[in-house]
A and B are shown apart, each in its own frame.
Chain A
């Protein structure tokens, strides 16, 4: 070989680097192409179908885009999202916190399991929307009422995930912690159970955040100001392009919240 060691090393590095990066690029590119292709096909089919359907039944994509553009520039879209968030966020956060706390207690203490757990198993089958009459007479058709319904949905999802998370804690970790001087229940929950159950707590919270968007729209259809009410009002005037526009907005909000929680989850659970 006439090559100097440096050029050999360079050549090796090049040989190793180029194909592997290239392969990742090709794979990522293929994935993106498929995604764009699928979305384009979907919009294309919608458009084609809309061309042969009355506009009042199925509006065409440009009409929907026009609504979005107008509401984004006028700020109406942001105003509606804000109205929705005013009950979405408190409902999700309060319901999740309570659900996690009660779920952990029921998972940890046998007495809590036999008492609270028993009551919970009776209340659990009640569909969250069946609480709407109570939401209305206790709070009214306002943010508090909608937050109450959202909190009930969030409570149950977090409750069961937290309970499962506690049940899944490796008993040996508890034993080790006790042998190293953690002797109180609260100490064990704080130092072993919570970190150990964090993946399940995240799963619960993320699922609840998704479900909460669904039930939020349902609550708003009854008249609580927000995206759902706007969507329903538009439907009453057969403005279906507005309905579709805000269906897309809700979908986007769902995706954004899911991505955000996943990102926090990945950072928090770096040890996995």
Chain B
């Protein structure tokens, strides 16, 4: 898809319109998504939560352009998504770093392909992004030399390097221990505050969704449908132990019982 690579507000809105997805399997067609409609405004932080097998990853992949919907469409900045592209940075649960590239070379990948944003150089952008995730000292390390948390940071820095208006994150902290996860959540919020990206965050962790997002989209068990959209009107930083936090969590949790 020919899209402007660099930040442009008109490209930062995601609209999912009546998207359904049916897979063919040996036992017949399997419906993964059913009439899903979501609108993610520019600059918002929206999470999708749902049990595993609820189609939230399918929805993520369709928004990313990795899969085509059976019906309906996803529009990003007005244009229908048909392919992955540098306007939507992606971060996966298993970091998906290029193991043969050093940390700095991983971050530089997208810049080699689409060039650095105006008035910067590749080297400056790499330094800036490593600085954002606090990994300047690991620039020359290979991914195998890093911890799980560090690898996720590199994945985030790599996605940020081409300065996409949108960040799509599929359970990025799902494989991390509790402490690392909490640290990375803080860092992500700081990066979001600084860069003003539109973030779509898929997770099965309700607390994580409530802690991070402006809005939580609750998916049903397969076929995936949107059961509810719950706004989280709390100020940040949020108190995970507060009443408002607990009530929001409970409002989401009731869909899982």
Contacts and interface: CB of A to CB of B under 8 A. Distances in A.
B158 A180 contact: yes
Contacts of B66: 175, 178
Contact of A198 (B85, B96, B100, B102): B100
User: Which 9 A-B pairs rank lowest in CB-CB distance, beginning with the nearest?
Assistant: A181-B113, A180-B110, A179-B84, A181-B114, A172-B96, A178-B84, A181-B86, A195-B100, A179-B90
Given A172-B92, A175-B84, A271-B142, A180 B98 contact: no
B37 interface: no
A179 B86 contact: yes
A192 interface: yes
The range of chain B's interface size is 20 to 34
Interface of B: 5, 64-66, 83-86, 88-90, 92, 94, 96, 98-102, 109-110, 113-114, 142-144, 158-159, 162
Interface in A138-195: 170, 172-173, 175-183, 187, 191-192, 195
Tell me the interface secondary structure of chain A in the complex: helix
A179 B85 contact: yes
A192 B98 contact: yes
Given A192-B98, A198-B100, A271-B100, A181 B5 contact: yes
A181 B110 contact: yes
Contacts of A176: 90, 92, 96, 98, 158
Contacts of A198: 100
26 contacts: A172-B96, A175-B84, A178-B66, A178-B83, A178-B85, A179-B64, A179-B84, A179-B85, A180-B113, A180-B114, A180-B158, A181-B114, A181-B162, A182-B113, A183-B83, A191-B109, A195-B98, A195-B100, A269-B100, A271-B99, A271-B100, A271-B101, A271-B142, A271-B143, A272-B99, A272-B144
B90 A175 contact: yes
A196 B99 CA distance: 8
Contacts of B100: 195-196, 198, 269, 271
Nearest to A175: B66
A171 to B, nearest CB: 9
Contacts of B92: 172, 176
B176 to A, nearest CB: 18
Contacts of A177: 109
